[in-house]
Amino acid sequence: MSLITANHETEAELTRLRQRVAELEERLARFEASPGASTTHFEVHRVLDALTVPIFYKDAEGRYVGCNEAFAAFLGRTRAEIIGKTAYDVAPPHLAEVYHQADLALMRQRATQVYEAEVRSAGGESRFVQFSKAPIFDAAGNVVGLVGAIQDITERKRAEQEMARLMEILESTPDVISMADAQGQVVYMNKAGRRLRGLPSGADLAGMRIVDLHPAWAAKIISDEAIPTADRNGYWSGDVAMVNASGEEIPVSQVLLAHHDADGKLTYVTSIMRDISERQRIERALREREIQEQVIEAQRAALRELSTPLLPISSDVVVMPIIGTVDSARAQQIMDSLLQGVSEHNASLAILDITGVKVMDTQVAGALLHAAHAVRLLGAQVVLSGIRPEIAQTLVHIGIDMRDIVTRGTLQQAIAFALERFRQ
């Protein structure tokens, strides 16, 4: 492009701008010369400046021709820095073209527009605002500009976002969550509750009451106990049951939360129900196992009683016949029963008969002989009967001192020894 051509274009643009300024000055002069114009202009600006809502108005070419102080503060500029400018001068560069073309389209379409957007305030803070724009008409019905207002809806949007997150949590939880008004009418039920009740996501809940979610016996608890308690104390919890789409009862753990208004009047109730079928199954299994273990232990105790009987044959003589295999645990039980029996019967002689013992290792033999010595400490004498040759070899191999223990080959010989001792 030549320098002459550029100069011609610059001159043309300056001429156009001078003409536009002259037109605006002429229009302003006519307005100010009209009766009461000065007062009206002052009153309008004073009213607009009293509003906290940012308000602006533009001419048909998208230039700002007026605004209130709230709008100037919103942009972080003075009113003088705004008047005569376009969106290209005050809006972020990446949005200026969008704003400008949207305003021109609105005036062409002679339509009112309301929309929301996220913007940056003069301080750089992200805010949500609602733009409301409408065209301005002259007396002949021609569009001569537009007026716009900006409403800060940041708090409302954030509250809506928080509510959306809360609803997402409620819809995702496997627990059945529902809400009912003060009359018991269900006004909300989450996805888990609708699925359990066989209701589609958009089903109308009209006519469904909170007690309808339960079988008759549980509904009576909810109406007569749960809701009054929640109203009085703020909450109620307990184990009841709810009814699924097939009419089957499902055991649930339920919590009711009461919500009141500022005057303390009940406004609605929130219900949270958790399926405890699996928990109850596990509890039943644990109870059954506990009972089974108690039965087994009782049987074991009975077998121990039978396997190590203590028989008093006189006022001061007791006999304990031992039959079967003796391990370490049974040897300890033999010692306990023997000592307890000697003490309870105040016996002076105890016969320990091992005729029925087939096998006895050194550890068990040692345990039995220790039991015999323990009886001696109680002041009673021990007679060991029924010793076979192989058991005798084991006892000798252990090397325990048996001088305080009387031995007899058979139980009859041991009893005879006890009776002879008694006669003496």
Q: What is the pLDDT of residue 286?
A: 87
The answer to whether residues 145 and 57 touch, using CB atoms and an 8 Å cutoff, is: yes
pLDDT at res. 1: 47
Query: To which residue do tokens 């009782």 refer?
Result: 298
Order the strands of the 317-323 sheet from edge to edge.
311-312, 317-323, 349-356, 381-385, 405-408
Q: pLDDT 10s digit of each residue in the chain, 424 long?
A: 444 454 555 566 556 655 655 565 565 555 455 554 444 555 667 778 888 889 999 999 999 998 999 999 888 889 889 999 999 998 888 888 988 999 999 999 998 888 888 887 767 778 888 999 999 998 888 999 999 999 888 888 888 888 889 888 888 899 999 999 988 899 999 998 888 888 887 788 888 888 888 999 999 999 999 999 999 999 999 999 998 888 889 999 999 999 999 999 999 999 999 998 888 888 888 888 888 888 877 766 665 555 567 888 888 888 988 877 777 777 788 888 888 888 888 888 888 888 887 777 777 777 777 888 888 888 888 888 888 887 777 777 776 666 667 888 888 888 888 888 777 6
Quote the Cα angle for 108-113-116, to 5°. 135
The Cα–Cα gap between 109 and 417 comes to: 129
- CB distance 23 to 32 below 8 Å: no
Distance, CA of 376 to CA of 403 (rounded, Å)? 12
Question: Phi, psi (5° rounding) for residue 293?
Answer: -65, -35
Q: Which pLDDT value is given to residue 2?
A: 47
Rounded CA separation 81/60 (Å):
19
Interior angle at CA 389, CA 388 and CA 395, nearest 5: 90
CA angle 60, 64, 69 (to 5 degrees): 145
Given CA atoms 404, 409, 415, 417 in this order, what sign does their dihedral have?
negative
* pLDDT for the residue numbered 271: 93
| Sheet with strand 235-243: strands edge to edge | 186-189, 176-181, 266-275, 249-260, 235-243
pLDDT for residue 226: 92
Q: What pLDDT score does 3 carry?
A: 44
Provide the terminal-to-terminal Cα distance of the chain, rounded to the nearest Å: 150
pTM more than 0.85 = no
For the chain, the farthest-separated pair of C-alpha atoms sits apart, in whole angstroms, at: 156
Give, in order, the Cα–Cα distances in Å from 327 to each of 123, 296, 323: 88, 20, 12
Q: Where do the domains of the chain lie, and which CATH numbers do they carry?
A: 34-156 (3.30.450.20), 173-275 (3.30.450.20), 308-423 (3.30.750.24)
Q: In angstroms, how far is CA 248 from the centroid of its own chain?
A: 26
The predicted pLDDT at position 314 comes to: 83
